[in-house]
Amino acid sequence: MSQKIAQISLIVKDYDEAIQFYVDKLGFLLLEDKKMTEEKRWIRIAPPGKSECSLLLAKANNEQQLAAVGNQTGGRVFLFLHTDDFWNDYNKMIENKIHFISLPRKEEYGLVAVFKDLYGNLWDFIQPMLDCESK
């Protein structure tokens, strides 16, 4: 048997502002954008490179979902974005005004810095140690 996580729903306030942030600022790819109804779209994004898992942008449509926007994990790091070129990608993110809440640091698992997305979700930006050692 073979299984994998294919998508993770990310609750957003607005489809277009989320696309602008993730695609234009973070450099993610817009994989799919299909209109389902007048209010609902099927939007999948993923970072460039090999990605078996994508984010499904899900627009909040009630008060409970709106309350979860930007806080889907109760203030903990929510998502982990790996890179094979930390400093190049980090500098691009700084140029694109991505808000980092920690300075880059070396941990036993690699180089890491934490940033916030447009809604306040926390992300670990990581170059795994194996990629650090090969450079």
Which pLDDT value is given to residue 50?
78
Same domain, residue pair 74 and 40: no
pLDDT for 19-42, tens place per residue?
A: 999 999 999 999 999 999 999 999
**CA–CA distances in Å: residue 12 to residues 19, 49, 122, 135:** 10, 24, 14, 36
**Is residue 124 a contact partner of residue 81, using CB atoms and an 8 Å limit?**
yes
Q: Which stretches of the chain score pLDDT less than 50?
A: none
Q: Where are the alpha helices (DSSP H) in the chain?
A: 15-19, 63-68, 86-95, 129-133
Which pLDDT value is given to residue 134?
54
Which pLDDT value is given to residue 51?
75
Which pLDDT value is given to residue 133?
58
Same domain, residue pair 16 and 30: yes
Q: What is the CATH number of the domain that holds 133?
A: 3.10.180.10
Same domain, residue pair 134 and 74: yes
Same domain, residue pair 94 and 55: no
